[in-house]
A and B are shown apart, each in its own frame.
Chain A
Amino acid sequence: DAKTTQPTSMDCAEGRAANLPCNHSTISGNEYVYWYRQIHSQGPQYIIHGLKNNETNEMASLIITEDRKSSTLILPHATLRDTAVYYCIVREETSGSRLTFGEGTQLTVNP
């Protein structure tokens, strides 16, 4: 699996966009970028994933650089309930097997 690097923590003002970066410089051509988040004490929650094109769903947008060595998760209008640890993971789509979580980024949304 490609290793990912994320900042340990970030702050964001409520109502503003939260931009969470992830570096994955060793990503291979068939590896996807996945984002999950974990709100305190709860099970992690899937947010979004993508291969090379930008992706958007009801929760967030995923921007992947052209060389695919980094990506940014965007929460367009952060709320207090978005305070959580956000995990960026890189993995092949079809392997269907082990997914390893790193330390993630603690995002704190401030009022």
Chain B
Amino acid sequence: NAGVTQTPKFQVLKTGQSMTLQCAQDMNHNSMYWYRQDPGMGLRLIYYSASEGTTDKGEVPNGYNVSRLNKREFSLRLESAAPSQTSVYFCASSPGTGDSGANVLTFGAGSRLTVL
């Protein structure tokens, strides 16, 4: 099992450019998440999708859009990148339902984005 796969692993953008971070999970999880982590800081939730067809804002949604394409895939789009969006982005998924472990998150390896 691959678990949670993120692409790309590294990306350098110029200010104003757009890009999409892709995330896919093969665990049949209902819930998916996008977090960002700035150097020396904790994780901050950008957006999440509790189930297929739904998305909700997290703590820091400004400047981002998301699409829950299907149950497996959850993409994060930067429409006009800014230097403040330089960060490591982590995608995660969780079962979302069930008697136990609904909120146990499995994380991807991260996507390192630099905006110049």
Q: B-contacting residues of A (Cβ < 8 Å)?
A: 32, 34, 36, 41-46, 49, 85, 87, 91-104
Q: How far is the CB of A32 from chain B (nearest CB, A)?
A: 7
Is chain A's interface secondary structure helix, strand, loop, or mixed overall?
A: loop
Q: Provide the residues of chain A in CB contact with B33, threshold 8 Å.
A: 98-99
Beyond A96-B50, A97-B31, A97-B56, whether A44 also contacts B105 by CB under 8 A is yes
Q: Whole-angstrom distance between the alpha carbons of A103 and B102 in the complex?
A: 23
Beyond A101-B42, A101-B43, whether A96 also contacts B103 by CB under 8 A is yes
B102 touches A94 (CB 8 A): yes
Q: Which 10 A-B pairs have the closest CB atoms?
A: A96-B96, A43-B107, A101-B43, A97-B50, A103-B42, A96-B31, A96-B102, A44-B107, A101-B42, A98-B48
Beyond A99-B45, A101-B42, whether A36 also contacts B105 by CB under 8 A is yes
Q: How far is the CB of A9 from chain B (nearest CB, A)?
A: 13
Question: How many of chain B's residues have a CB under 8 angstroms from any CB in A?
Answer: 34
Q: Provide the residues of chain B in CB contact with A101, threshold 8 Å.
A: 35, 42-45
Beyond A43-B108, A44-B90, A96-B94, whether A34 also contacts B45 by CB under 8 A is no
Q: Return the contact of B51 from the options A42, A43, A94, A96 (Cβ within 8 A).
A: A96
Q: How far is the CB of B39 from chain A (nearest CB, A)?
A: 10
- Residue from B35, B94, B105, B110 whose CB has the most chain A CB atoms within 10 Å: B105
Q: How far is the CB of A108 from chain B (nearest CB, A)?
A: 15
Closest chain A residue to B96 by CB distance?
A: A96
Tell yes or no: B65 within 8 A of A by CB.
Answer: no
